[in-house]
Structures are given as C-alpha cells and as structure tokens.
Structure 1
Amino acid sequence: MEWYAEGLAAGVDPASPERWPRLDEHDQAKVEAASVALVLHLTRPWLWDRLPPRVREQVVDWLAPAVGAAYPPINWVWFQLVTEQFLASVGGPYAEEDIEAGLALARTFERDGGWYADGAERSYDHYNGWALHLYPLLWSEMAGRAPDPAYLARLERFLDDAVHLVGADGSPLVQGRGLTYRFAAAAPFWAGARAGVGSPGLLRRAASGIVRHFAERGAPDRDGVLTLGWHGPWRGIAQDYSGPGPPYWAAKGLLGLSLPAGHPVWTAVEEPLPVETGDFTRVVRAPGWLVSGTRADGIVRVVNHGTDHARPGARLADAPLYARLGYSTATFPLLSGDPLDQSVAVLDEDGRASHRTGFTAGPVSALPSGTLVGSSRWRARWGEQGPGPDHGHSRPGGDLRDGPEVEVVSAVRGAWELRFARLPVEAGGTPVEAGGLRSEPDALGPPPAGRLRLGGWPAPEGGPVTRVVGGPGLTERGVAVAATPLAARTLVPWCATPGPAEPGRWYTAAILLGEGGDPPAVNGNAITWPDGAADEIPLPGPAAGQRG
C-alpha cells in the first residue's frame, strides 16, 4: 500500500514532475479518475484513511473538476457518478443534480434481457459487463444504498446470457471495442458474486477461466506488463484513447480478490460452462444475436443481426468489431480493409466490397427444432471511414457511394450457419437502384461489378476448421490470408457469383467454424442438417424473378 500511496501522492501533486493530467485538461483523465475513486473506496481503511491530510486535499482537488463537467452520454456517465459519490463520502464538492441526472440517463440505456446499449445507438459489447453492470453495483455501495432490486434482476438475466458467451478455453467473445482490456471481461461475473446473484461456482468458473485464458497466453508479458494487444502486443487493437495505462482496466477482472476467502464464490465447487456441458443455441434479442455453442470444440459463435454501433439508415463504413455478421470465441475479425470475413458484400467495378452499417434489423427467433433464425437488410455502400479519431466504431465517410439493397437470412444450428442472401427487387419487379454499377463485364478489364460475395469465419491457420460451401450460382471460391492478433496467417474462405448477381434470387452458402461434419443439404428454403433435423426457413415473400 505504501507503493500505491507514493504514486497517488505524486499523481495529484501539481508541483510533481510525475503529476497526472487533470480532468479539465484532458477528457481521458475523467475515465482514470473514476478508477482512482473506486480503488480509494474499496481500499479505504488501508489507503485513504492513512494518507497525510495534504495528499487527501490534493486528491480532492484533482477529482473536483468532475463536478458539473460535461461527460459523453454513454457509459462515461458512471465515471462522473462514482467520482462525485466518492467526493461526497469524504466531504469534498459534489452536485446532487449531477448524480440524479446521471442515474436518469443511465436508465435510458436499458434494453431487453438485462442488456444495456452503450448510448442511443445499437452499441452492444463488453461495456455491458465491465462498465454498465459493474459501476451501478459499486456506486450503490459508495452511496450507502442497497442495490436496486430491479438492477439485481437485470444483472441476473444478463449473467445468464454472459456465461453462454465464454468459450471452453476461457476466451471471451472477440467483439466490440476495448478488447485490449482483456480479462476485464470477467468483471460482471465477480459483480454477480458480490451482489449475491447467480450460481457462485459457475460465476467463478467463467471469471477464472477468462483470466487464465490470457495468463497462459502471454498477458501479462515476461516483464509482467499488460501491453496494448490481445494475447501478446498488437498495436492495431488500440483505439485513439489507448496508451500504456488503459490495458490495466483488466484489473476489473480481478475484482473477486476483494471478496473474503470464505465467500461462496471461493468455497463453492466450480461448475462447468454451458459450452462444456453440451451443444446449445440461444437467442439474445437486445443485440440481435443468434448464439451457438458446441461442446466438441468448445467454441461459442454469434451470428449478428442487430449490432453495428450505429442507427438504422446511417451512412457509415463498417466498424470491423461491430458490423460483421459473425463473431466467436475462436476467431478475430480483420481490423483493416473493406469487409471480407463474415460479410455479404456487393463488389464494385474495382472489386471493392460494400459495407452494411445502418442496416434494418429483422426478427431473431428459435424454431421448434432449436434452429435459430435471424435477418437484416441494408443499402450496400462503398467507401472508407472518414477522418478523425478512431474510438473503435464507425466514423462518417466523406465519399460513400450507394449501391443496391442486400438482404440476408441466417439459419444457425451447431457449428453451421446456412446463409441466404439476395439483392431484392421492388414490388413491381424492378431491380433496386444499383448506384451506378456496371452490369456488363469488360473482357479486358476487372471482373464485372455487381458480383455478390459471401465471406466466412477468419480462423487462425492450424486452428478450428473454417469453410464456406457455396450453393448454385456461387461458383467462384477462394481463401484469403491475413494477419490478426490470433495468428500471422488467418484464413478466410469465401464464395461469389461469377458475374452480376441476379436481382431477387436467393443465393445460399453453408458456413462452418469448428467440428460440424458434412454441410447441411438445401432445397429451396428447406434444410436437412447433419444431425438429421429438418427445417423450413421462413424467407421474406417471393419477389419477381426469384429462383432457388
């Protein structure tokens, strides 16, 4: 504690050469201030209560600019709440109106099933657990209030989904920004244990499995440092606010150490994760996810028809960590370039792939057989993210070109997804506006514009099997090789139409990650799966010129 006290004293001393940026000098300090406030609360008898009066005064002075300050209307609202609540607990300045307004704003983030959106957009990611569920619990403790029963019920529902999103090897779902926080993904499980919500043995299995996953794969490194990266260093994973400090949000994944040795989360027998007990499928409605876990390979997959960190109709390029059609515990999306992995894209005259951000989300549901079905529809657009800071999500592009509409229906069972894709036609049979696409190939030029390409899972070479089996009309195929934080050689299979896609026609491809056996058999919208189950997939109504 003396070591921490020394660092704290230097950080808040305006005359120290090692002083920290103030909250009114740099917005990122508002994030770090909340962590400082939480730690001072959790360790109060051993740290705050033993600080010299002058250091306490300087801590208060350093935190005080939070009062009345502007915070983005996202998970940051909790940074102001816990900072001001700590100030109130030590006799410092605070504003009751800030606290009441912050609590009211946080309630607007609530979504179905105990989930939160990180703001007004379709922003669903690990911030649900390591911020939007964790901070309310700790704030209520700081305020001397019992946790709101409605909050506890939401936490319990969320944790029931969250334990289904951890792979058997302890990997959390690789999706969303802030991934360099790594085992901070364990935070909601410790929050559940702290609040007395959920099964202690299952919560410990999930949390300790996530921490162990990284500890056994190079994080921290040989020097004991958490670098910017995933397992090892990987600079491309960072957002514009990332520096040497942010990886230490991982500390939230060790919150269980604040619980005494006799707590049930430490004394209970560990229970296996859902993916370790058998195959499962699960609909998570708020983010629009179809979740499938398979015991044979321990992989959890998410097919995404509801999350893009944007709003319907937004004219934005894709954010790779949000707008892909699939994420898993065993793959890492390609972080640069136009969409390839887990995409349905229209290729323009230069062979560039279209983006899907701003899609219209369709329903997600489970058929009586247990097969999951979901859909989305969007206007294909070409272009790049606009200039400016990268917070891990889309930025408005300066020169996006509109193309045709694209519609996708997914059927998910086991390790397979059967993906239906088409370029819809209007009610009168007229192809949807093609945005200047060339419809005739140039024998001496590039491949014809308007081709439809379906990309599969980006699996590490030597890792789980990744495969795309194209149906009629998807006769072109290949495998792209790229680098990701999981492997220098990551394989992305794909299939495509040889020429412009026929408007109104449903094209199908079977997409595999892991151990799945033979591909499903398809006849129109009827599917026979490798396990013998048979389904008829409800597709949107017939369109002029539609073919199977």
Structure 2
Amino acid sequence: MKVKFLSTLMLVCIALAVAGQKTKESTGAQDRVFWAKTLYRISYPVIHNLANGTLKKNMPIETPENHDSNREKVTYLEALGRTMAGVAPWLALPDDDTEEGKMRKQLRTELLKALTNSVDPANPDYINYRVEYQPIVDAAYVAHAFLRAPKALWEPLDEVTKKRFITEFKSLRDRSGAYNNWLLFAGLTEGFLMSIGEQYDPARIQFSLNKMKEWYVGDGWYSDGAKFSMDYYNSYVIHPMLVDLLGIMVKKGRASQTDYDSALKRMIRYAEYLERVIAPDGTYPAYGRSITYRTAAFQALAQVALMEKLPQWIQPTQVRAALTKVMHNMYDGNQNFDKDGWLVLGFNGHQPMIADTYTSTGSLYMATLGFLTLGLPADNVFWTGPPAPWTSVKAWGGTALKKDYKVEY
C-alpha cells in the first residue's frame, strides 16, 4: 500500500512538473522581445558612447594577465566592428511604433553618429586603422555590417564620412596578417570596396578564396590554415564571410554561381552541427580558442536561418527555441556584465583565466553575431510558429530524429 501510494505520488509530481514546463514555454513573440532586449543590452554601451564621443573615456579595457601589448590601440575598433556586424540585419528592418521598433530606431540613429565620429580625426573617439595588425580583422566586421545593411548603415552616411571609411580601409594594405582565417578579413574588406564601385585589390580577394577552397576538409568544415583546429572559427569567421564575399563576386561577374552554391551548401551543413551541439538544457561545449566570444559560436546557424536556408528537416522554430535557451543561460543574469553594463572576460561569468592573449573588452562584442536572425521580421515563421524540440531534445527524449551522415560537397 505504501509503495503504491509513493508511486502514485511520484507520477503526480512528474505530471505537475511536465505541466509546469508546458506553462513556461514562451511564444515566438515573447522570444523576440527577449532577443531584442538582450541584443540592445549588449550593444547599447558601445554604440551610445561612441555616438557621444565617450567610448575611449568610458569603455574599460580588461585583458588577461599575459595579454598582447597595445590592446588599447585596437580594442575600440573591435568593439565597433563586432557590435555593428551583429546588429546590422536587425537595424535594417523598417521603423515601426512598437517598443522594439523604438529601440531599433534609437540604435540605428546613434550608430550612424558613432560611425561618423569613428573616422573623424578631430573627434576624441577617432578609431585607429593605421597601426597594428588587428585592424585588418575588425575593419572586415565593419565592412560586413555595411554589406548586411547597406541602406540602413552605409547609404545614409554623408559623403565625407564615406570617403574617410574608404581611405581607412585602403590604409590596411600596408600590412598582412596571419596565414589562416585572417585572409578572409582582407578579402571581405576589398570585396566591400568592389561592391560600392571603389578601387579594390583583386589579389587579396582571390588569394583568400583560393586558400579557403584549398583548406576545405569536408563535411562542412574548413581548416583554419594548414592545420585543423577544433573550435568555432568556422562560425566566427569562415562560413559567413566566405559566403558573403562570394555573393559579391557573383554579382560582379567575378565568381561562378557554382562556387557560391557550394560554399552555401557547406555552411548549411555546418549549421546542422551547431544546432546539434545545443544540449537539451541549452548549454553547448566550451571548446577551442576564443570561447569568450560567447554566442558568436552560433553565427553560421543564425545566418542560415536569416537567409531562410535551413534544411527541410530542421524547423525554424526549433532553431529559435534552441538559441533562445542558450541566450537565457548566458544573459538572464548579470554574470557576463560589469556594474556599468560592459561585457566581462569569460564564457559564462567573469573568467579572465580562459581569455586568449589577443582578447580584451572590445573583442567580446563578437557575441552579437549570434543574434543575426532578428533581421527576420516579426511575422516570419521563425517567430510566429510554436517552439519545437531541437535535435538533442529529440535524441535524449527518445523520440524520432533524423540520422546524421557526412556529406560529399
């Protein structure tokens, strides 16, 4: 009798727990509010301060103990480029009178002012492109943002500011960076110049494309240079920048549609991996270099969803549900922010011991890249459909899921 009572009680508890879980499920509209507020929270300190000429005054420069020298010369461009590359698709949406629309409009207005300040030599927040190697990297994120939202972020700039950006981008040609994913940074910046009809360096573009084709190792993965590294750089850099650079080249008649389609298929395949590594509880493996970039690990997945190119067996709503769970784990609390709202060194908390030597406060704003799918309007199925279980939820829940096999392209 006692055993029967305990069994019944346990079943009741489980039923209540399941019911509680169901009541806690958020709608797509609620998820979007959370995404928008979180992206605003992350990006606001960078954009607002740069718009007011106070970025260098107010942004802390936190570095690991064994950091590279001269981080203060490069960290501000890191903060700008990485932030704007993540917010660009969202800011490209038209204005509306919703709370989200008002946040978007404010950030877009301030970012345009920030961009003007950043290349004005008379402004206290004039940002360095001319010395050190790191600006090769972060100029590419600035260029990527312009490519992602040309009508919102590039075209509204005055002619003086546009010419200043073009001059700064061209100034990078007196340096060469690392012999790995850095080739794509130089290639993408030159690709942006090509896209606006400016003089560009075709060798830098072609060399980056040739090497990435050579460094493809199969099944959606590129080697980051001659030797393979197990990390998230395929998402931080390689797939999104390669696909978008080839997109420019195809439009200009400088690359084949076949090359673009192949690169896109590879990014879609890689995005499958990213969706699968999100555990049922919304955690994911903290492996490889640069894990302090946090949600940037999911840039490739977010971009594929933004492009509405997810494979048919991955529903947009399961990607939304998975990424929302990750973002709640990362950003619900204050563990990743200091008292003034700036990101701190770490993965999920203040963990400066895991920061790489090249990392400083500005580097961390790569985190915005995981939010690209906010560029889909609120009435898109990504946001309107009910949440769906993602792959690991199905696998660990004992329900049907697709087998996973390597691909040959």
Aligned position for 2:321:
205
Please tell me whether residue 265 in structure 1 is matched to residue 377 in structure 2.
Answer: no
State the Cα distance separating 1:142 from its structure 2 match: 4.2
State the Cα distance separating 1:126 from its structure 2 match: 0.8
Aligned position for 2:290:
178
Aligned position for 1:28:
134
Cα 1:207/1:108, change in 2 over 3 Å: farther
State the Cα distance separating 1:78 from its structure 2 match: 1.6
Please tell me whether residue 8 in structure 1 is matched to residue 121 in structure 2.
Answer: no
Alignment of 1:376-415 (within 5 A): none
Aligned position for 2:182:
76
Aligned position for 2:126:
19
Q: TM-score, normalised by structure 1?
A: 0.48
State the Cα distance separating 1:71 from its structure 2 match: 2.9
* Deviation sequence 1:231-261 (CA, Å, 0-9, x none): 2222112112111111000111111112223
Aligned position for 1:131:
237
Aligned position for 1:276:
393
Q: Is the 8 A contact 1:73 1:105 kept in 2?
A: no
Q: Is the 8 A contact 2:209 2:242 kept in 1?
A: no
State the Cα distance separating 1:32 from its structure 2 match: 1.2
State the Cα distance separating 1:180 from its structure 2 match: 0.9
Cα 1:166/1:197, change in 2 over 3 Å: same
Please tell me whether residue 215 in structure 1 is matched to residue 363 in structure 2.
Answer: no
State the Cα distance separating 1:144 from its structure 2 match: 5.7
- Measure the CA separation in 2 of the matches of 1:114 and 1:212: 28
Which one has a bigger Cα radius of gyration? 1
- Measure the CA separation in 1 of the matches of 2:156 and 2:171: 24
Q: Out of 278, 282, 294, which is 1:166 matched to?
A: 278
State the Cα distance separating 1:183 from its structure 2 match: 0.8
Alignment of 1:283-362 (within 5 A): none
Q: Counterpart of 1:148 in 2: which secondary structure?
A: helix
Aligned position for 2:149:
43
Aligned position for 1:497:
none
Aligned position for 2:164:
58
* Deviation sequence 1:127-181 (CA, Å, 0-9, x none): 1122111212332444464672212322232223222211222222110111111
Q: Is the 8 A contact 1:172 1:185 kept in 2?
A: no
Q: Is the 8 A contact 1:11 1:18 kept in 2?
A: yes
Aligned position for 2:371:
254
Partner amino acid for 1:12? V
- Paired-residue identity, %: 27
Q: TM-score, normalised by structure 2?
A: 0.64
Partner amino acid for 2:282? G
State the Cα distance separating 1:9 from its structure 2 match: 2.0
Query: Greater CA deviation, 128-137 or 257-266?
Result: 257-266
Partner amino acid for 1:113? D
- Measure the CA separation in 1 of the matches of 2:296 and 2:305: 15
Q: Is the 8 A contact 2:133 2:176 kept in 1?
A: no
RMSD (CA atoms): 2.6
Q: Is the 8 A contact 1:189 1:204 kept in 2?
A: no
Partner amino acid for 1:189? L
Partner amino acid for 1:78? L
Alignment of 1:471-510 (within 5 A): none
- Measure the CA separation in 1 of the matches of 2:341 and 2:248: 31
Q: Is the 8 A contact 1:5 1:51 kept in 2?
A: yes
Cα 1:266/1:109, change in 2 over 3 Å: farther
State the Cα distance separating 1:210 from its structure 2 match: 2.3
Q: Is the 8 A contact 2:319 2:390 kept in 1?
A: no
Q: How many residues align?
A: 285
Q: Which has the higher contact order (CA 8 A, sep 6+)?
A: 2
- Measure the CA separation in 2 of the matches of 1:68 and 1:262: 46
- Measure the CA separation in 2 of the matches of 1:268 and 1:15: 50
Q: Give the gaps of 5 or more residues in structure 2.
A: 1-107, 252-256
Cα 1:156/1:3, change in 2 over 3 Å: closer
Please tell me whether residue 193 in structure 1 is matched to residue 305 in structure 2.
Answer: yes
Q: Out of 264, 268, 272, which is 1:152 matched to?
A: 264
Q: Is the 8 A contact 1:186 1:208 kept in 2?
A: no
Aligned position for 1:233:
350
Partner amino acid for 1:175? Y
Q: Counterpart of 1:111 in 2: which secondary structure?
A: strand
Q: Counterpart of 1:177 in 2: which secondary structure?
A: coil
